[in-house]
Amino acid sequence: MSFSHEVKDELLEVRLRRNEDGRMLVSGYTLAIAALKYSRAHRTWGLHYVSEYSPGIGFAAKLACRNYELEHEISLNVHERLNARNTELFLYGPGVERLELDSGLISVDKNGERSYETHLPKGLDAEHSLRAFVRGLFLACGTVADPEKGCQAELVFKNEAAAHETAKLLCERGIPPKIAKRRSLFVLYFKNGDSVEDFLTFMGAGEAMLRVREHRMLRELKNMSNREVNCFSANMEKAARASASSVEDITLIMSQVGPDALSEELYAVAEARMAEPELTLSQLAEKLGLGRSAVNYRLRKIAAIASEIREREVQGARPAKTE
């Protein structure tokens, strides 16, 4: 089962405390995926729904028939070639026009003329109504990414105006979505982890929100650990390069001039570096009982001596003894 279906299963368990909430949920479901269709079998016009989430179809049919004077027919449509199983719902009866009006599928002007200009239902100013409406939208056209793979939630609209109006209402509740166009569809989506959690909480999917939060925390800990490991590796690599360079300088000085080229202080540092080249600068300083800056200064002095030897080798002259 996908995570989206798990979220929808949880939303079906949210108690509808008011009859208005039931009508708003059906309105959201209808606005999202319903289309007017003529049924030859029933010899009437009705509303046709298609969804791959069959429990949502059954739930919407039950609420619609309870709140409107309707009958329903549910059927399973299997596409073997596409390996898809969709559930279809057909609602018909005297209450169809009322449901169309309530859901915003059709509009009626002051002269009583009907038009199929989609708009959001009235009454969404109330918090509980908007929550129920958004639940209906999500049950019909919503998805949430598996929290193990990332954070994203979407609502897919056929109508641009409905998408923008819904986005505006959610923005007013502090859950700002983004909108993108995909072919002829308009996608209202949340990609930020906090907004996905807020969206799930707003709909009433508290358990799903906790799962998203848990996986977000695990990813953040993993990313923090990876950053620390990468930082440590980079520092170790830098220290290894510096140590190798110092060992090379000391080896050159000893082979070309000998220990007399170094003062007693420089020789002590050179001897310690050659004995344990794997030590970091801080570890080397601790071993010698010196400050890190003092050891670094003496290694730079050794590097300068080695540089002078290389320059004189290029010129073909043997360097003089350095105090």
Pairing of strands 153-157, 142-144: antiparallel
Contact 55, 10 (CB under 8 A): no
Confirm whether pTM is higher than 0.75.
no
Q: For residue 132, how many C-alpha atoms fall within 13 Å in the half-sphere facing its CB?
A: 24
How would you class 174 by CB atoms within 10 Å of its CB: exposed for 0-12, middle for 13-18, buried for 19 or more? exposed
Q: Which residues contact 93 (CB under 8 A, 6 or more apart)?
A: 46, 68, 69, 70, 71
DSSP character string of 105-145 = SSEE-TT--EE----PPTTTTSHHHHHHHHHHHHHHHEEE-
Q: Which residues contact 178 (CB under 8 A, 6 or more apart)?
A: 188, 189, 190, 191
Q: Where do the structural domains in the chain lie, given as residue ranges?
A: 3-204, 235-315
pLDDT of residue 310: 82
CA–CA separation, 31 vs 134, rounded Å? 11
CATH architecture for residues 3-204? Roll (3.10)
CA–CA separation, 155 vs 142, rounded Å? 4
pLDDT of residue 80: 67
CA–CA separation, 48 vs 72, rounded Å? 10
For the chain, list residues with pLDDT below 70.
Answer: 80-82, 316-323
Sheet holding 185-190, edge to edge: 142-144, 153-157, 185-190, 178-182
Quickly tell me which residue has 């570890």 as its tokens: 283
DSSP character string of 173-195 = TT---EEEEETTEEEEEE-SHHH
pLDDT of residue 14: 93
Contact 253, 306 (CB under 8 A): yes
CA–CA separation, 218 vs 195, rounded Å? 18
Q: Which residues contact 308 (CB under 8 A, 6 or more apart)?
A: 319, 322
Sheet holding 35-39, edge to edge: 35-39, 44-51, 84-92, 71-79
Amino acid at 81: R
Q: Which residues contact 78 (CB under 8 A, 6 or more apart)?
A: 84, 85
Nearest to residue 279, comparing CAs of 242, 228, 226, 234? 242
pLDDT of residue 82: 64
